[in-house]
């Protein structure tokens, strides 16, 4: 299993969480997506997958939901 955490800007509500969770959850091999919503700040998105997922793929999925990854840690 692989876990990576991403800092995401612009998320302010439950709908934001649902959108990001849905888009990131579509990535092949992703088994869980956990979003820690921090209103007025930078939220954390943790992705659990069978194997490491390229950061660029997660950035694209978050972008599809309308938000931006600003930092990532494995």
- Express each pLDDT in 2-55 by its tens digit: 999 999 999 989 999 999 999 999 999 999 999 999 877 899 999 999 999 999
- The pTM assigned to this predicted structure is 0.91
- Under the banding of pLDDT at 50, 70 and 90, the label for residue 74 is low
Q: Quick one: fold of 2-73? A: Alpha-Beta Plaits (3.30.70)
> What are the structural domain ranges in the chain?
2-73
How far does CA 27 lie from the centroid of its chain? 11
Whether the CA torsion 61, 63, 64, 67 is positive or negative: it is positive
């Amino acid at each position: 299993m692989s876990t990576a955490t991403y800092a995401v800007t612009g998320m302010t509500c439950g709908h934001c969480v649902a959108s990001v969770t849905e888009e990131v959850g579509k990535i092949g091999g992703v088994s869980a997506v956990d979003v820690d919503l921090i209103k007025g700040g930078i939220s954390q998105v943790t992705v659990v997958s069978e194997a490491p997922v390229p950061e660029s793929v997660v950035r694209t999925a978050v972008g599809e939901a309308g938000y931006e990854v600003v930092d990532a840690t494995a």
